[in-house]
Structure 1
């Protein structure tokens, strides 16, 4: 039910965000960095990490409801913050070119005002939680840091957008642990998360 509501909410929020003016936050980092086109490495790392975590989830299917719940919560939090925090894009933003989105939504103008907080960074941090303990989690954490740094280097987000994202990912993960349905012993009361 929540997924259906999100399917209608997300386009509406993005349509409203396209039209409104925003503020320019204090930015101590971007003026000192060249704006680079890093879309290919960003999405290579992101999709590879998604694939890694998907393989891990196949081995831990009881975690899937929590994963879906956490992603829905993260998208909801992002829609709320984007709706509440109007920011103009960085002046030297280099448009992020997602090959999957380009296949699905070919001629649509890229959205550049969906800034606070960084959804790509937040998703990468959420993948760290979902990867489980061990080498996969360390690899996902390194990938999350790499994507966050590349987003800043591409000037896709203000630094505050990227720095705030892990807190929202952690909040979505924490809430999902208390509200996701229990399946196969993995749920709100299960240890080891």
Structure 2
């Protein structure tokens, strides 16, 4: 289905508009929530895995894989509006889960953290570097969501590889605790399944 057919379909047109109306304030609210989390006192976890090695700065590798994966996904999915809609909805739900998770788990970053400074953001000025957006790992969760959304086996392999490398890299840099990275794919999968099941039930109701 191309974009013209997509917007000619009343159901998809309404669903797309509602999704955007919800997603924009959700992301704006989430950005403010992250500032609240950053100012809140938390606890430092004793992570045996992180305690076993010194941190390594892998900032460029992490963001190169993240941005490259996002670009590949957008390019390969741009002419698939139904898939993009599913991606937006799944990501939005994952953000909601992440907001709840961070609210109930006030963590301080690992004491040996090496700051994860987004090179792209720094091109446009000195932005605040967040360190307490920990449980669960948004980088890992987002890349795993791309793996779930990809329909091509080659793309799935690329996104799964990126997920594993980035998940490992944020641990090597002591940006996240082990539990942050371990849980992320499960929450990502849950978000994806909830949205896909919702679509199936909605389609069944429309056919009745």
TM over 0.5: yes
User: What TM-score range do you get, normalising by the shorter chain?
Assistant: 0.7 to 0.9
RMSD: 2.0
Q: Higher helix proportion, which one?
A: 2
Match of 1:61 in 2: 81
Q: Give the Cα separation in 1 of the matches to 2:199 and 2:49.
A: 38
Conservation of the 8 A alpha-carbon contact between 1:69 and 1:180: no
By how many angstroms is 1:188 displaced?
5.8
Question: Are the equivalent residues in 1 in contact too, given 2:37–2:103 (CA < 8 A)?
Answer: yes
- How many residues are paired up? 184
Q: Aligned in 2, Cα 1:23/1:142: closer, same or farther, shift over 3 Å?
A: same
1:35 to 55, 79, 82: 55
Higher relative contact order (CA 8 A, sep 6+): 1
TM-score, normalization by structure 2: 0.81
* Pair 1:188–1:13, CA change in 2 (3 A): farther
- Highest Rg: 1 or 2? 2
Distance 1:151 1:43 in 2: 11
Which runs of structure 2 are paired with 1:13-32 in the superposition (5 Å)?
13-32=33-52
Is 2:136 aligned against 1:117? yes
Counterpart of 1:179 in structure 2 is 198
The 5 A counterparts of 1:45-56 are: 45-56=65-76
Partner of 1:75: 95
In the alignment, does 2:114 pair up with 1:94? yes
Contact 2:50 2:171 in 1 (8 A): yes
Given candidates 21, 24, 30, the residue that maps to 1:4 is 24
The answer to whether the 8 A contact 1:89-1:113 is kept is yes
Higher deviation after alignment, 86-95 or 2-11: 2-11
The TM-score normalised by the length of structure 1 is 0.87
